[in-house]
């Protein structure tokens, strides 16, 4: 009798294992898998989507209708420019970042993926800042350089300044000629300098190699 009871229980268990899941469970499970797949795909594609959506807003060219006289003043006497004059020659995004010390969202900058040979200039005064040879892919979402463009006397046009905003201690980098905000420099870059200049595209203007 006992063996018969065991057999009955085993038979019941084997049948229980093959019972189909209730439709509601199957639907919920399918939705969960689909949602996870969508989120995973979106996390991979989002930087590219954002770049395509916003890159046009961050094109580092001056306003099309900028006053030529003010543009000349920006190039030759940038320290004499007023905030209102900068506002007249820069796009809203350029002004927000370069003159307002803002930061563009990661993976949205116009030059983040630029691999052309040339030199990166200050968008405000056209000072030479970074050679394309020192640009590398840091994975940060911003144009990154391990060194600056050197002048004949081995100096550069980049000013370093301690920044303690947002509760963090960082080193801000600015254009030495006009004081425009460029970004920050960190000590986690590649050799030979070990530096990573993390720069906003909106603060730059690219001059292709001739």
Annotated catalytic residues are 198
How many Cβ atoms are within 10 Å of 193's Cβ, its own excluded? 15
84 touches 178 (CB < 8 A): no
The residues, ordered by sequence, that sit 6+ positions from 124 with a Cβ below 8 Å of its Cβ are: 74, 78, 81, 86, 90, 94, 98, 99, 175, 178, 180, 203
The residue behind tokens 């006053």 is 67
The residues, ordered by sequence, that sit 6+ positions from 98 with a Cβ below 8 Å of its Cβ are: 86, 90, 123, 124, 180, 181, 182, 200, 202, 203
Helix (H, G, I), strand (E, B) or coil at 116: coil
Say how far apart CA 168 and CA 172 lie, in whole Å: 11
């Amino acid at each position: 009798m006992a063996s018969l009871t065991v057999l009955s229980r085993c038979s019941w268990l084997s049948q229980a294992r093959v019972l189909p899941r209730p439709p509601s469970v199957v639907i919920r499970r399918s939705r969960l898998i689909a949602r996870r797949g969508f989120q995973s795909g979106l996390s991979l594609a989002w930087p590219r989507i954002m770049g395509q959506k916003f890159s046009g807003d961050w094109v580092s060219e001056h306003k099309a209708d900028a006053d030529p006289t003010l543009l000349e003043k920006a190039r030759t006497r940038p320290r004499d420019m007023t905030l209102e004059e900068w506002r007249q020659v820069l796009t809203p995004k350029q002004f927000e970042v370069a003159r307002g010390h803002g930061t563009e969202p990661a993976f949205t900058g116009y030059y983040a993926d630029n691999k052309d040979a040339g030199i990166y200039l200050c968008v405000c005064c056209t000072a030479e800042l970074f050679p394309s040879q020192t640009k590398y892919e840091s994975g940060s979402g911003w144009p990154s350089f391990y060194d600056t463009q050197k002048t004949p006397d081995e100096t550069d046009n980049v000013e370093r300044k301690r920044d303690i905003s947002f509760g963090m201690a960082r080193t801000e980098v600015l254009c030495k000629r006009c004081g425009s905000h460029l970004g920050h420099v960190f000590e986690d870059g590649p050799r030979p300098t070990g530096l990573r200049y993390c720069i906003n595209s909106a603060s730059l203007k690219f001059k292709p190699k001739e």
